[in-house]
């Protein structure tokens, strides 16, 4: 579970509630028609903009955002270097037993093709095609939340106009002015909160998740190609460490001291 997302959502809602309740009653900020106008309108706009399968898959997208366990690039590099050592020592066919215990299907696909003697260009082409497909799926999920973040404030403004119309049409009845103003202001509030506390932050988090996952797949592609070409494990490690910032790379002095 991504603790930062959970903390952000809970703290954001909590701060809004505290700000409201410190100056007024929460019931003054609850209006069902305003919620329906904003949330229902934004959802309907998303239905028009995206295929139904994207909308139905929104729960999966949220689950991936909140509960997906981020991979560890340093551990992945260590694993790939280990595979390179086995291939260098016992031959690439020896990896067939090793990959049976690997959970990452992307790694298994790449190494299995190398074991089968598939042409290097074909291996790289297939793995890059998978990389592109994953990037596209992630972009679709991010775009869905970006659009919800765009439509929610727009429907908040529509609600404001509706509220103003109600208020102006009933200027001769002072008792109806309050309801019209409530719809006018609350729909704008709901739209802003839905966009800036939920939809857009989740879209940004999906972007971060996508970047992290694509980095891992890029490391796998480079590692598989190095193993297939029979590179020395130390060379494989150096190639893969280029994906990490210097602050995350192992210190050569530490490695020398351990060897001593």
- DSSP category for residue 244: S
Look up residue 8 and give its two tokens.
Answer: 């952000």
Confidence grade of residue 259 (pLDDT, cut at 50, 70, 90): very low
First vs last C-alpha separation in the chain: 40
Domain range summary for the chain, segments of one domain joined by +: 1-30, 31-74+120-259
Q: What is the pTM of this model?
A: 0.81
CA distances 30 to 154, 179, 183, Å, are: 19, 12, 10
The mean pLDDT value of the chain amounts to 86
Please write the tens of the pLDDT for every residue from 107-132. Answer: 999 999 999 989 999 999 999 999 99
Neighbours of 45 (CB within 10 A): 17
In degrees, rounded to 5, the angle at the alpha carbon of residue 106 between the alpha carbons of residues 101 and 110 is 90
The Cα 224–Cα 243 span in angstroms is 15
Please write the tens of the pLDDT for every residue from 65-109. Answer: 677 777 889 999 999 999 999 998 888 898 988 888 888 899 999
């Amino acid at each position: 579970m991504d603790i930062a997302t959970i903390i952000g959502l809970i703290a954001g809602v909590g701060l809004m509630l505290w700000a409201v309740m410190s100056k007024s009653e929460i019931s003054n900020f609850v209006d069902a028609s305003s919620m329906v106008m904003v949330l229902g309108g934004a959802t309907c706009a998303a239905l028009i903009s995206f295929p139904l399968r994207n909308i139905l898959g929104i729960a999966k997208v949220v689950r991936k955002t909140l509960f997906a366990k981020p991979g560890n690039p340093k551990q992945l590099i260590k694993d790939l270097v280990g595979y390179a050592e086995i291939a260098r020592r016992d031959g690439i066919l020896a990896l067939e037993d090793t990959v049976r215990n690997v959970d990452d299907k992307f790694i298994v696909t790449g190494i299995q093709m190398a074991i089968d003697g598939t042409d290097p260009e074909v291996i790289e082409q297939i793995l890059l095609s998978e990389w592109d497909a994953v990037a596209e799926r992630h972009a679709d999920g991010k775009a869905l939340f970006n659009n919800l973040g765009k439509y929610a404030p727009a429907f908040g403004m529509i609600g404001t106009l509706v509220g103003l119309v109600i208020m102006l049409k009933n200027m001769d009845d002072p008792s109806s002015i309050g309801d019209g103003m409530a719809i006018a202001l609350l729909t704008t509030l709901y739209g802003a909160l839905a966009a800036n506390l939920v939809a857009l932050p989740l879209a940004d988090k999906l972007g971060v998740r996508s970047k992290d996952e694509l980095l891992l797949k890029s490391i796998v592609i480079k590692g598989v190609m190095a193993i297939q070409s029979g590179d020395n494990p130390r060379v494989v490690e150096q190639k893969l460490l280029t994906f990490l910032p210097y602050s995350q790379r192992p210190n050569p002095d530490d490695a020398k001291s351990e060897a001593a």
